[in-house]
Structure 1
Amino acid sequence: MSAIPSLLTPGCTVRHPACPDWGLGQVQSVVGDRVTVNFEERGKVVLNLSVIALDLIDTDDR
């Protein structure tokens, strides 16, 4: 499911749909349209949510 920016909060687990090799990421912060995510295989990345829709992962389904 694509994440609606207002649903993203620190601690949420996400995936970048265009970069699945980055692995899962944990949201570190959300400021306006910018979100900082720490990905398993890529590290910390700042993304613009007006450009990319992250996939919100339900950690109960993992």
Structure 2
Amino acid sequence: MSLNSLLEPGQVVRHPAQPNWGLGQVQSNIGGKVTVMFEHAGKVVIDSAHIELLPVFDDNI
């Protein structure tokens, strides 16, 4: 099971291959497609089958 399946709207994530995109906030997670609004890349739809997003839990971002 992919950890992406546990992502919920409002959670903060990073894209492991695109650190310059900054932090992203999950907008939706439907059918393996995670829509994320990134600080420096805008809205991006991620295919969970290919990219494992990294949850951010640190309050001192």
TM norm structure 1: 0.88
Structure 2: which amino acid aligns with 1:8?
L
**4+ aligned runs moved over 2 Å, structure 1:** 59-62
Which residue number in structure 1 is paired with residue 55 of structure 2?
56
Which residue number in structure 2 is paired with residue 37 of structure 1?
36
For structure 1, the residue ranges without an aligned partner over 5 or more in a row are: none
User: What is the RMSD computed on CA atoms of the aligned residues?
Assistant: 1.4
Which residue number in structure 2 is paired with residue 25 of structure 1?
24
What number of residue pairs does the alignment pair up? 60
Of stretches 5-14 and 36-45 in structure 1, the one that deviates more from structure 2 is 5-14
Q: Tell me the percent identity.
A: 53
> 2 CA distance for matches of 1:55 and 1:4?
9
TM norm structure 2: 0.90
